[in-house]
Amino acid sequence: MEIERIPPAEALRRQRAGTVLVDVRASHERAAGAAEGALGIVRETLEADPTAALPDREAPVMLICQMGGRSLKAAEALRAAGYARVASVEGGTERWRDEGLPLVRDEANADFYERYSRHLRLPEVAEAGQRRLQAARIAMVGAGGLGSPAAFYLAAAGVGTLVLADDDMVDRSNLQRQILHTEARIGTAKVESARIALNALNPSTRVEAFPERITAANVERLLEGADLVIDGADNFPVRYLLNDACVKLGTPLVYGAVHRFEGQASVFDAGRHRGEAPCYRCLFPEPPPAEAAPNCAEAGVLGVLPGLVGLVQATEALKLLLGIGEPLRGRLLQVDALSMRFRETRLGADPDCPVCAPGRPFPGYIDYAAFCAGG
């Protein structure tokens, strides 16, 4: 016998007469609008143990979803489980709304469920993962070429707190690649310009400005409480300092760098995985000479390239926070934008690394400017 399919108006009439109406959609879907008086039970939960919510198999029950497909399948599962009087609402909540029937909405959580609805549909994220992102704290060094796309997408993804460290001001030459900033904010501190842009995108992300040059004296204050660090620095002294601090504190470091038409990214997590995962010093025991690695102001950079690498960094950060996928730990991803070719190099931990070798105590912070100058 086929499942009875009823229009929303008939479902409302029966509901008012005492028939149970069950909304089998996910919680984020129900929060955006649900039939008034409906009992919310996710389809998978209902099918796994229907008697927990519907102990009487002889009592009539109606099921509703978004458009009618899921409720019909759930009704078939209930019929197979011995429920004799099951109906599915045709057109689901969409038709219920269109016909002007009474709806309820979770106003307190509406922004959360609407804003992150595409994340919530992913089983690998779902509501539990989105709540983890909401509680996360990321320290970002650099609100420039790499920090701009990374911060934009992390804020959009719902990361709760972004700590942005940069002591520079917005300059017109930045606008070719540093998309957090605008013509109108030239001369504004980059961290303030970034805060304006990110709050306009997602007011629920807290942006903490750190308008200071990163040094050994303040780096641990920047990293305090951070779940991970994104390296968007444009100089070697800060990169080595960040690496050493992250090893000491056991904080993952999401690395990125660009030069002309080439970029690279990796995850350095030696602080939590001594002897297994490398740190930045394992890859670069010593900095290259200055003439071999000029900065963007000297060598130039294709404007879109930092966007490409910064998005890789944001992706790695989200994976680390959610505990999903395979991070770039122990792997260096390199991209050549001119040929649009990606290459991956395996990285091993250096057993003699002066900072992350197993059992080696933290050697202390050094004069990184002198170290990188060959002093």
pLDDT attached to residue 335: 98
- Concatenating the DSSP letter of every residue in 126-161 gives HHHHHHHHHH-EEEEE-SSTTHHHHHHHHHHHT-SE
In the chain, the amino acid numbered 52 is: A
Percent of the chain with pLDDT over 70: 97
Q: Which of 43-47, 60-64, 150-154, 294-298 has the lowest mean pLDDT?
A: 294-298
- Residue 311 clears pLDDT 90, i.e. is over it: yes
What is the pLDDT of the chain when averaged over all its residues? 95
Burial code of 252-262, b = ≥16 C-beta within 10 A, e = fewer?
bbbbbbbbeeb
pLDDT tens-digit profile of 202-259? 999 999 999 999 999 999 999 999 999 999 998 999 999 999 999 999 999 999 999 9
109 or 184, greater pLDDT: 184
pLDDT attached to residue 290: 59
Q: What is d(CA 332, CA 246) in angstroms, rounded to the nearest whole number? A: 18
Q: What is d(CA 204, CA 318) in angstroms, rounded to the nearest whole number? A: 17
What domains can you pick out in the chain, each with its CATH number?
4-112 (3.40.250.10), 119-372 (3.40.50.720)
pLDDT attached to residue 291: 58
Kindly give the residue spans of alpha helices, DSSP state H, lying in the chain. Answer: 8-16, 27-31, 43-48, 69-80, 92-98, 110-115, 117-120, 126-135, 147-157, 190-201, 219-223, 236-249, 280-283, 296-299, 305-322, 368-372
pLDDT attached to residue 109: 87
Which tokens sit at 156?
Answer: 């959009």
pLDDT attached to residue 375: 59
Q: Which of 280-294, 326-340, 355-369 has the lowest mean pLDDT?
A: 280-294
Beta-carbon-side half-sphere exposure of residue 175 (alpha carbons within 13 Å): 12
Kindly give the residue spans of alpha helices, DSSP state H, lying in 303-345. Answer: 305-322
pLDDT attached to residue 296: 64
- Residue 292 clears pLDDT 60, i.e. is over it: no
Find the mean pLDDT for residues 81-106. 95
pLDDT attached to residue 106: 86
Question: 82 burial class (0-12, 13-18, 19+ CB within 10 angstroms)?
Answer: exposed
Q: What is d(CA 89, CA 5) in angstroms, rounded to the nearest whole number? A: 6
29 C-beta neighbours (distance < 10 Å), count = 21
What amino acid positions are annotated as catalytic residues? 296
81 C-beta neighbours (distance < 10 Å), count = 15
Question: What is the reported pTM?
Answer: 0.86
pLDDT tens-digit profile of 227-236? 999 999 989 9
pLDDT tens-digit profile of 313-348? 999 999 999 999 999 999 999 999 999 999 999 999
pLDDT tens-digit profile of 72-93? 999 999 999 999 999 999 999 9
pLDDT attached to residue 274: 94
373 or 45, greater pLDDT: 45
Q: What is d(CA 97, CA 301) in angstroms, rounded to the nearest whole number? A: 52
Find the mean pLDDT for residues 135-149. 97
* 116 alpha carbon, distance to own chain's centre: 11
Find the mean pLDDT for residues 258-262. 96
Q: What is d(CA 40, CA 64) in angstroms, rounded to the nearest whole number? A: 10
pLDDT attached to residue 175: 96
Beta-carbon-side half-sphere exposure of residue 109 (alpha carbons within 13 Å): 16
Place of tokens 């060598």: 299
Q: Which of 6-20, 44-58, 79-93, 108-122 has the lowest mean pLDDT?
A: 108-122
Interaxial angle between packed helices 305-322 and 126-135, expressed in degrees from 0 to 180 and rounded to the nearest 10: 110
